[in-house]
């Protein structure tokens, strides 16, 4: 499929998700530069999107979710595991749980030690401060007047307070700002909301820039490939409906399609591992073996308990109680409809020798008949999600056919590392200990999953293999760094190709210790500076 070049811009941004919205805003601040933002999905508008609790509806909606799935793997009992990815302007900030976690300083210092000069914790802190509009308790490291609102969850159900108290009884401190000096401890999550409504990257960054004459935003535009002239990226070929079009870039093309689709697009453009390209029927244009490798994600098990009292979401989201909750939300922007995927947090160290917390907890006063689709049980329940923060296991994302409409093969390789296995086992044991404390005696009926029959390490590992899911933090598939396996340099330039950069979660050398949206926003803010400085 070919088409004449009909348009030309200084910058072309491929993907209108979290990072793409940031870059569209920042790069178009220079009135002398023209910017094209291409998004395969739609405008990112819908009834459920601004309602925080609407994420459960959006996770299964193909209009807003690409609905990728993993390949069956022995480590996870040959199950296909859902990999949601946001579709539409705003990307995954349209459908995620809105949880805002920067990660730990040593995450970014580790990046720098791996050759990512300029990405240490001191280097990236100004970008976190620049993007945040945080309204809670915190120190001088927090940003207060950025475009992205961050607020503490406002709901304080009694059972959540009991969970935090139980953690205290187990020896874990209360922490009001895990994005501050220390991540250790328990408390309430911080989320990207304003006055009880979700604020996506499109709301925070793209909407204020849409009126600029030098910015063009095109939805329903599926990019088919990056166009190359030798070792220079000259533009992109994209499809709107059934019509192919081309756009040329005078300065740079920036891929912000995310950790699943960015490596896929590079391979469709002939950039990648020669063996992978040949197997998919793709021509080799540039040998770059690291494309699609180094896949990392947060694997999560969900432990749940039956609750004695009618104080959970299971019963308050049914019948007249749901009607009352809906009325409360639309009248006051308060109540249970402001809740996303996490209510109370916990960050703990499973071993005293680790430098920072290596397990994260997500407490919700709810239990699920289907966790992947967030279908609630009918009886009262509570859930503690348990995830390892810094997994060692690495997987791949690769093209399986020479067309954009065939999803790539996603092989996460979860639980391949013995360290990953033991950390998850220890994290689940700690969760059971916390929930067994006196503060929760009035609420806890009995453990449903994994249940009292789970005793040995083999039992715990089997539960994880049988039931664990991703929590949608895919990253690393276009690794930033130096040497073999690196795809982009510390300036985010694709090795061996002029005029082509990547600026999304795929560049992370290792996943950050927490939810990834904050780090992706930071990456995009820094990328904008790198690109503008290069053009000076």
Bridge partners (DSSP) listed for residue 24: none
SS3 39: strand
- The C-alpha torsion from 251 through 256 and 260 to 262, rounded to 10°, is 0
SS3 365: coil
Element (H, E) at 113: helix 105-113
Q: Considering only CA atoms, which of 166, 192, 169, 167 is closest in space to residue 179?
A: 192
Element (H, E) at 525: helix 517-534
Listing DSSP states for 468-496 in one string gives -EE-S--B-TT-BSSSTT--B-TT-BBTT
| Size of the chain in residues | 536
Bridge partners (DSSP) listed for residue 488: 480, 494
Please answer whether residues 127 and 525 qualify as being in contact, where contact means their C-beta atoms are separated by less than 8 angstroms.
Answer: yes
Please answer whether residues 317 and 298 qualify as being in contact, where contact means their C-beta atoms are separated by less than 8 angstroms.
Answer: no
Task: Name the active-site residue from 264, 365, 398, 473.
Answer: 473
Query: Six-digit token pair at 48?
Result: 């459920």
The phi, psi pair for 268, rounded to 5°, reads -60, -25
Is 473 labeled as catalytic in the residue annotation? Answer: yes
Please answer whether residues 157 and 311 qualify as being in contact, where contact means their C-beta atoms are separated by less than 8 angstroms.
Answer: yes
SS3 72: coil
Positions marked catalytic: 473
């Amino acid at each position: 499929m070919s088409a004449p070049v009909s348009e030309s811009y200084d910058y072309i941004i491929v993907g209108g998700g979290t990072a793409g919205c940031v870059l569209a805003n920042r790069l178009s601040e220079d009135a002398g530069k023209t910017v094209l933002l291409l998004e395969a999905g739609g405008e990112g508008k819908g009834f459920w999107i601004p309602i925080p609790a609407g994420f459960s509806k959006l996770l299964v909606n193909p209009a807003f979710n690409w609905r990728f799935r993993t390949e069956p793997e022995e480590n996870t009992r040959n199950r296909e595991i859902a990999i949601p990815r946001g579709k539409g302007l705003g990307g995954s900030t349209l459908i995620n749980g809105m949880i805002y976690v920067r990660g730990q300083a040593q995450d970014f210092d580790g990046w720098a030690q791996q050759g990512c000069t300029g990405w240490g914790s001191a280097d990236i802190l100004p970008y976190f401060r620049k993007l945040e509009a945080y309204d809670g308790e915190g120190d001088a490291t927090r940003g207060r007047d950025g475009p992205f609102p961050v607020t503490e969850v406002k709901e304080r159900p009694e059972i959540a307070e009991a969970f935090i108290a139980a953690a205290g009884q187990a020896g874990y401190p209360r922490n009001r700002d895990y994005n501050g000096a220390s991540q250790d401890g328990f408390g309430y999550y911080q989320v990207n909301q304003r006055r009880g409504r979700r604020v996506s990257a499109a709301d925070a960054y793209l909407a204020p820039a849409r009126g600029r004459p030098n910015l063009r935003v095109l939805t329903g535009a599926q990019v088919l490939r990056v166009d190359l002239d030798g070792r220079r990226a000259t533009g992109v070929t994209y499809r709107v409906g059934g019509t192919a079009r081309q756009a040329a870039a005078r300065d740079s093309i920036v891929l912000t399609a995310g950790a699943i689709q960015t490596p896929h697009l590079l391979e469709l453009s002939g950039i990648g591992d020669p063996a992978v390209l040949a197997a998919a029927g793709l021509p080799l244009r540039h040998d770059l073996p690291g494309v699609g490798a180094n896949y990392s994600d947060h694997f999560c098990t969900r432990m749940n308990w039956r609750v004695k009292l009618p104080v959970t979401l299971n019963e308050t989201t049914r019948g007249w109680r749901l009607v009352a909750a809906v009325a409360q939300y639309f009248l006051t922007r308060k109540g249970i409809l402001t809740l996303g995927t996490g209510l109370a947090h916990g960050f703990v160290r499973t071993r005293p020798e680790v430098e920072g917390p290596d397990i994260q907890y997500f407490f919700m006063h709810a239990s699920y008949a289907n966790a992947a689709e967030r279908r609630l049980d009918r009886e009262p329940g509570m859930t503690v999600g348990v995830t390892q923060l810094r997994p060692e296991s690495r997987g791949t994302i690769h093209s399986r056919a020479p067309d954009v409409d065939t999803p790539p093969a996603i092989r996460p390789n979860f639980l391949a590392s013995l360290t990953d296995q033991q950390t998850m086992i220890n994290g689940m044991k700690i969760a059971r200990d916390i929930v067994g404390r006196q503060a929760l005696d009035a609420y806890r009926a009995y453990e449903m999953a994994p249940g009292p029959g789970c005793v040995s390490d083999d039992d715990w590992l089997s539960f994880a293999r049988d039931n664990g899911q991703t929590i949608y933090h895919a990253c690393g598939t276009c690794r930033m760094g130096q040497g073999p396996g690196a795809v982009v340099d510390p300036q985010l330039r694709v090795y061996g190709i002029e005029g082509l950069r990547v600026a999304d979660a795929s560049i992370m050398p290792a996943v950050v210790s927490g939810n990834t949206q904050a780090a992706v926003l930071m990456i995009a803010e820094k990328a904008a500076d790198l690109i503008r400085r290069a053009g000076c």
